[in-house]
Structure 1
Amino acid sequence: MSDKQQPDTTDVKHVYLADPIPYGEKKLDHFTLQRPRGGALRGIQIQSIGLQDFDELCKLVPRISSPAITIGNLCDMDAADILQVSHKVLSFFEMRAS
């Protein structure tokens, strides 16, 4: 973790990878996730996201990540980093305070 890390908000989550992944000609050590809207959830089994199903995560993350994280990128991630991504995605589904 570096001093330059951005704080998370209700609509944007920052993922900092413990083990950077290949991304084009460089290594990617962080990316952001945007709160999914209805269109991003098409064809997604939301209950499977709640169960941290990797296959469902592979469908959703490319739709809500910047830069775009592909299924191949997810497959290259360390298990601890995948779990972090899953937790960040799950946090979007928590009830917001009124």
Structure 2
Amino acid sequence: MTTPAQDQAITAPEMDQNIIVLDEPIRRGTQVIDQFTLRKPSAGELRGVSLSDLLNLDVTAIIKVVPRISLPSITEAEARAMDPADLVEVGGKIGSFLLKKSIKAELSPAT
């Protein structure tokens, strides 16, 4: 039997799949962020956001959620300034977090 913490633990391969490599790095003073990791949000981290908006890649919804689930944390202002291609990738990853494992398995090409 596993503990809740073990159930929620993210393995290294899963974490690698959640890395967003930016076409246009984010500049924060002298720091340059060229990639960051997204983690699966909890229900509470999705408060105030319509799930259908996230699944439809609504820019406002994505920008609201990104600071809550990014490591290092990306601010709303930084998310608003992101390259559109990068924002679409982020939105797609967030949308994939909302799907059940069984649905993801059906959508994945057979290997």
TM class, shorter-chain normalised?
0.7 to 0.9
Seen in structure 2, the aligned counterparts of structure 1 residues 25 and 34 have a Cα distance that, compared at 3 Å, is same
- Residue identity over aligned pairs, in percent, reads 34
- Structure 2 gap ranges (5+): 1-11, 106-111
Equivalent position of 1:27 in the other structure: 32
Match of 1:36, as an amino acid? P
- 2:54 aligned with 1:49, yes or no? yes
Q: What is the TM-score when the length of structure 2 is the normalising length?
A: 0.74
Q: What is the TM-score when the length of structure 1 is the normalising length?
A: 0.82
When the two chains are superposed, the root-mean-square deviation of aligned CA atoms in Å is 2.0
**What's the CA shift for 1:24?**
3.3
- Structure whose residues are more often helix by fraction: 2
CA distance in 2 between counterparts of 1:8 and 1:65 reads 17
Equivalent position of 2:95 in the other structure: 90
